[in-house]
Amino acid sequence: MNRAEGVGLRSALKFCALSLQPLALVALLALSLQPLALAGCARPPQPQPRARNLVLITIDTLRADRVGAYGWTRARTPALDALARGGVLFERAYAAAPITLPSHATILTGRYPPGHGARDNGLPVTESVPTLATQLHAARFKTAAVVAAFPLDHQFGLARGFDVYSDRMPRGSDGRLANERPASQVIDEAIGWLTSDQHLAPGTQHPFFLWVHLFEPHAPYGDPASGGSTGDRYDAEIATADREIGRLLAALAPVRDRTLVIAAGDHGEAFGEHGEFAHSIFVYDTTLRVPLLMNGPGVRAAARVTDPVTLADLAPTAMRALGQTMSDVDGIDLAPALAGTPLRARELYAESFAPLVEFGWAPLRALRSGAWKYIAAPSAELYDVEHDAGEQTNVIAAQSTVARGLDQRVGKFSPASPPSLFQGMQAERGAGAPAGRVSGAGAPGVDTDASERLRALGYSSGGDSQSALRNPQSAMSRPDPKDRREMAARIAQVTSGELTGAALLAALDGLVRDDPKNGQAHLRLAYARLEVGDCARAEPEFQKAIATGLPGADAHVGLATCQGRRQDLNGAQQSLEEARRRAPDDPIVSANFGILKAARGDLPGATASLEAALAADPGMDEARFNLALVYAKLNKRSEAAAAARELLRRLPPNAAQRPEVERLLKAVQ
C-alpha cells in the first residue's frame, strides 16, 4: 500500500465512525446516505499474499518460440506450460546480452551489463554490486545455487551471498574437466539441498532462495551423430530440461503456496537467421527474446503481459514480492503487470561486446523504443519491430532522424569503448598478475585456463583480439560483425559440437588455413586428430597452438601425450614441466606426470603423482586405471584390486573400458 492509499483508507474509516449517530437521524438520512455509506464503508481490499521463498530457474539458450505456452505446437514442455497456466507469461521479454554470464548477471543484479561489469563471459561481475543472493542473505534467507556450466563458475563473481554455490563439473573421457553437466545432476543436488536442510518442513524458521541453472538446450543438442535434425534435437533437449523442472516443482509441493517461482531463458539461439548460428555475436531478437514466467503468491493465473520487459526487471520484482527492496537498478518492479495494469513506456537496452572481446570486431549495442529497435554498429540498423518482428528490413535511410535520436540515447547506456571494459580485459588476460592467477581490480580471481574452457563452449574464437587492448578507442572503426558473418558461422559450427568425424576435421582445417593465428582452432584440430590416433599430424598443431600464445596447459599436455607415444620421454618431460608452470594445481598434469614416471620405471614416483591427482579429483578414471596398473607392477595386488573395483563402480554399465578393467581385476585377485 502506498502513502496515498493509506490516507484514503483512513478517511473512509473515519467517515464510517462519524456516521454512527442516534437512530432517528440515521433513519432520516438512510435513503440519501446509503450509496455513500456503501462506498465509504466497503471492506478494504485484502492485501495480496506475500511470497516467503524464491525459486529462480534459468534455462540456457532457450528460445521463447520453442515453448508450448508460447505457441510451439511440437513442444514437450508440460512443466513450463503449467507454470504459465497458473501464473503470468511475458510475451515480449528480452535479455540484456545474448551471452550466459552477462545475462545471468543482469538477472541477479537488476542492472544492464555496463552496471554490473560482466560484459562478456570470463569478465567477472564487479564485486561491489549487490545481487539477489547478497541482499536476501543479509535478510536472513538461506541461499543456494546449482549451476550447470562453466561460464557461471564461482570465479566469475555470482557466488557472493550464496550459502551453497555448486559449480563442480565432472571429468570427461579425456580426463579434462567437462564444461557442463546434465540437468538431472543439477536437479538432484537442488532437491538434496531442499530436503537435507529442512527447507520443505512446516514451520521452518528461515525463508530460502534457490537458483538452478540448466544448460540444456545449449549446443551440442543431444547426440549430433544420431541422425536427428538440429531442430528435433534442440526440442528434445528442451524436453529434457522441462522434465527435470517438473521434478523440482514436484519436490516443492509442500511449500508451493508460499514460494514465488520464476522461470526464464538467459538468451535465445539462432539457426541461420540473419546468417547467425548459435548466439553471442548479434543482438537480433532471435537471440535476445526469451521465455519469462512467474507463478506464485500474488501472481494472477493464466495472464499474458504484452508490454516489453527486460531480464533486468527480475531482481526488483522478486525482491518486492518477498517484502524486500532493491535499489540502484536498471530494471523495474513488474508488480503492476502482475496485477493486470499496463507498464509505463520506457526504453530497453541490450548489447554484445563479445565481437570486440573475442574477435577484435566492433561491439553491438541495441535500444528498443516503442515501435523502433536501433542497433549501433559501424553500419547502423533500424527496425520497425511492431510491423517487422523478424528484423528483415533496415529502414535507417528513411528514418534518419529517428536513428540519430536513438544513437544519442544508446550512448547514455554505454559508449562503444568504455574504459572499464578494457581494464577488465587486461585483468582477465593477466596483465601484471602473478603466474597462476589473474584478478581484476576488486574482482574475484580468475583461473588462467578460464578462457580455454570458455572457448571450448564456443564463447571465444582465439583470434587476434589483443589489439583491442592496445587501442580501445577504435572500437567502432573495427570490422562490423555483419561483414564477418561467414567466419562467425564457421567458428560457431565448430565450437557448437554439432560437427563430428571427418566433417569436423575438414572445418577445422579450413579455419586454421584462413585464420592461422587462431590458437584455439589449432588446439581443437590437434585434439581431434589425437582422438583418432593421428599423433603425427596432431603434434604440429599442438606446437602451432602454443606458438600463438594460447594460455593454459591443454596444448602442452596434448603435446606431451604425442611425445610420449613416440617415446620422446625427455620432450614429454619438458612439455609437462611447462604445463605445471601454467597450471600448478591441475590434477590432469599430475596424472600425466604419473604416467610418464611409470614409463621411465619410477613406480614409487608414479604412485605418488597418481595418488595426488586422484586426491584432488577422484573422478579421473584414466588416472585410477593407471594407478591400478602401477600397483600391480609393484606387486601390491590388494591395492590394485581395490583401485580396479572402485573404477568399475564408477564406470557406467555400458562403458567401453569395463572389459579391460575386469581383465586387470581378474589378474590381480
Give the model's confidence band at 38: pLDDT under 50 very low, under 70 low, under 90 confident, else very high. Answer: very low
Q: What is the pLDDT of residue 19?
A: 31
Cα 10 to Cα 6, 45, 196, 606, 649, distances in angstroms:
6, 13, 47, 81, 70
Cα(621)–Cα(657) distance, integer angstroms: 10
* Interval 620-636: pLDDT, tens: 888 999 999 999 999 99
Residues 586-602 have a mean pLDDT of 94
Q: What is the pLDDT of residue 203?
A: 74
Q: Which cell numbers in the block locate residue 489?
A: 558461422
Q: Bridge-partner residues for 437, per DSSP?
A: 447
- The strand ranges marked E within 71-158 are 88-90, 93-94, 142-146
Cα 289 to Cα 64, 93, 357, 442, distances in angstroms:
6, 6, 23, 32
Q: Is the pTM of this model over 0.95?
A: no
The answer to whether the CB of 113 falls within 8 A of the CB of 95 is no
> Is there a cis peptide before residue 220, judged by omega within 30 degrees of 0?
yes
Q: What is the pLDDT of residue 48?
A: 59
- Give the pairing of strands 53-59 and 208-214: parallel
pLDDT at residue 31 greater than cutoff 50: no
Buried b (16+ CB within 10 A) or exposed e, 402-425: bbeebbeebeebbbbbbeebbbbb
Cα(152)–Cα(157) distance, integer angstroms: 8
Long-range contacts of 407-411 (CB under 8 A, 24+ apart): 407/374, 407/376, 407/380, 409/347, 409/367, 409/369, 410/349, 410/365, 410/366, 410/367, 410/374, 410/376, 411/376
Cα(279)–Cα(340) distance, integer angstroms: 33
Element (H, E) at 303: strand 303-305
Q: Which amino acid is at 666?
A: K
Give the model's confidence band at 499: pLDDT under 50 very low, under 70 low, under 90 confident, else very high. Answer: confident
The answer to whether the CB of 104 falls within 8 A of the CB of 267 is no
Q: Bridge-partner residues for 152, per DSSP?
A: none
Residues 545-569 have a mean pLDDT of 91
With cell 586428430, the residue in question is: 529
* Interval 231-264: pLDDT, tens: 999 999 999 999 999 999 999 999 999 999 999 9
Q: What is the pLDDT of residue 435?
A: 26
Q: Which cell numbers in the block locate residue 434?
A: 602473478
Give the model's confidence band at 14: pLDDT under 50 very low, under 70 low, under 90 confident, else very high. Answer: very low
Domain 53-342 annotated CATH 3.40.720.10 = yes
* Interval 294-327: pLDDT, tens: 999 989 999 999 999 999 999 999 999 999 999 9
* Interval 163-186: pLDDT, tens: 999 998 887 655 667 889 999 999
User: What's the mean per-residue pLDDT of the chain?
Assistant: 85
The answer to whether the CB of 291 falls within 8 A of the CB of 80 is yes
pLDDT at residue 28 greater than cutoff 50: no
pLDDT at residue 1 greater than cutoff 70: no
Q: What is the pLDDT of residue 395?
A: 98
* CATH code of the domain made up of 482-668: 1.25.40.10
Give the model's confidence band at 619: pLDDT under 50 very low, under 70 low, under 90 confident, else very high. Answer: confident
Q: What is the pLDDT of residue 44?
A: 43
Alpha-helical (H) ranges within 221-349 are 230-251, 285-288, 314-321, 335-339
Q: What is the pLDDT of residue 201?
A: 81
* Interval 413-437: pLDDT, tens: 999 988 766 665 554 433 332 222 2
Mapping DSSP to helix (H, G, I), strand (E, B) and coil, where does residue 54 land? strand
**In terms of Cα–Cα distance, which of 366, 338, 373, 360 is closest to 425?**
360
pLDDT at residue 577 greater than cutoff 70: yes
Cα(411)–Cα(232) distance, integer angstroms: 40
Domain extents in the chain: 3-41, 53-342, 482-668
Give the model's confidence band at 521: pLDDT under 50 very low, under 70 low, under 90 confident, else very high. Answer: confident
**In terms of Cα–Cα distance, which of 180, 177, 216, 183 is closest to 457?**
180
pLDDT at residue 458 greater than cutoff 90: no
Of 519-533, 569-583, 641-655, where does the model show the most confidence?
Answer: 569-583
Q: What is the pLDDT of residue 173?
A: 59
* Interval 89-121: pLDDT, tens: 999 999 999 999 999 999 999 999 999 999 999
Residues 487-506 have a mean pLDDT of 87
Range scoring the smallest mean pLDDT among 85-89, 472-476, 533-537: 472-476
Give the model's confidence band at 17: pLDDT under 50 very low, under 70 low, under 90 confident, else very high. Answer: very low
Q: What is the pLDDT of residue 501?
A: 87
pLDDT at residue 360 greater than cutoff 90: no
* Interval 191-218: pLDDT, tens: 999 998 788 887 777 899 999 999 999 9
pLDDT at residue 42 greater than cutoff 50: no
**In terms of Cα–Cα distance, which of 319, 311, 307 is closest to 287?**
311
Q: What is the pLDDT of residue 434?
A: 26
Q: Taking the mean position of all CA atoms in its chain, how far away is CA 352?
A: 15
Q: Taking the mean position of all CA atoms in its chain, how far away is CA 370?
A: 29
Q: Which amino acid is at 640?
A: A
